[in-house]
Amino acid sequence: MKINSAEFVISNQEVKKCPTNKLPEYAFIGRSNVGKSSLINMLTDRKNLAKTSGRPGKTQLINHFIINKNWYLVDLPGYGYARVSKSSKAKFQKFITNYFEKRQQLVSAFVLVDVRHDPQPIDTEFMEYLGENGIPFGIIFTKADKLKPNALERNVENYKNALLEGIWEEVPPYFVTSASNKTGRDELLAYIDGINQT
Ligand code: GDP
């Protein structure tokens, strides 16, 4: 898929204030600092579409971007940020779960995980939450350039095995990416394009 246009539409915390037309949308979520903003900028070929921030967890908003005027890319807040107070954490979780459970236009979520790390409960539990609610998702491994090919392959295999040892009967669609050298960009955009065409 060629990106012809990528524009910010709206940020908010309420599903009912999200765009009301029926365009398909794809939501990106992961731990703070996982490389979500960098990935979104890499995918859309825009330097600052998503704000890479030095203060992870600061912006807790559902951010809609419209791509090629025919699908939405949704940038969700990073989770698991320790410095968020308990009350704002509860609020955060509520509006995120509201989004996932109510947003009918959502075609797929993408859960981002740093490929350098072993599976973290916060991520695998979130995937389980999506599974339990029947929300399709893919996994995006980020920062692939930080590992040598052997280690990269080993970590991806470990992650897949951990999922199969958990509740999953099959591994969800997954993508190995790097915002630094654009690894995985074509595959991920082709995947989204493929769904949009059906
Ligand atoms: P976010 O909090 O998930 O939006 O993460 P950011 O996109 O702000 O990235 C967090 C940090 O990881 C920044 O210092 C980025 O430069 C770095 N980073 C993100 N993606 C990559 C990548 O693919 N490769 C490398 N080497 N660094 C990355």
State the distance between the two ends of the chain, measured CA to CA, in whole angstroms.
15
Query: Are 112 and 39 within 8 A, CB to CB?
Result: yes
pLDDT at 89: 62
Per residue in 96-135, pLDDT (tens digit) is 999 999 999 999 999 999 999 999 988 998 999 999 999 9
Tokens coding 140: 């995006």
Give the position, in ligand 1's atom list, of the atom nearest the Cα of 181.
23
Q: Which residue has the CA at smallest separation from atom 22 of ligand 1?
A: 143
Q: Say if the ipTM goes beyond 0.90.
A: yes
The pair of three-digit structure tokens given for residue 95, joined into one six-digit string: 């509006």
Q: Are 73 and 62 in contact (CB under 8 A)?
A: no
- In this structure, the residue with its CA closest to atom 17 of ligand 1 is 35
| pLDDT given at position 94 | 83
Task: Identify the structural domains of the chain with CATH numbers, from first to last.
Answer: 6-197 (3.40.50.300)
- Residues enclosing ligand 1, CB less than 6 A? 32-38, 52-53, 56, 78, 142-143, 145-146, 178-180
- Alpha helices (runs of H) in the chain, residue ranges in sequence order: 36-44, 86-102, 121-132, 149-165, 185-197
pLDDT at 55 over 90: no
Q: Which of 29, 43, 51, 52 to mutate to test the pocket of ligand 1 (most atoms within 8 A of CB)?
A: 52
- Tokens representing 144 are 């692939």
* Residue 185: other Cβ atoms inside 10 A: 20
- Residue 108's beta-bridge partner residues? 26
Pair type for strands 106-114 and 25-30 = parallel
Give the distance (Å) from ligand 1 centre to CA of residue 186: 19
**pTM for the complete prediction?**
0.94
φ/ψ of 33, rounded to 5, equals 80, 5
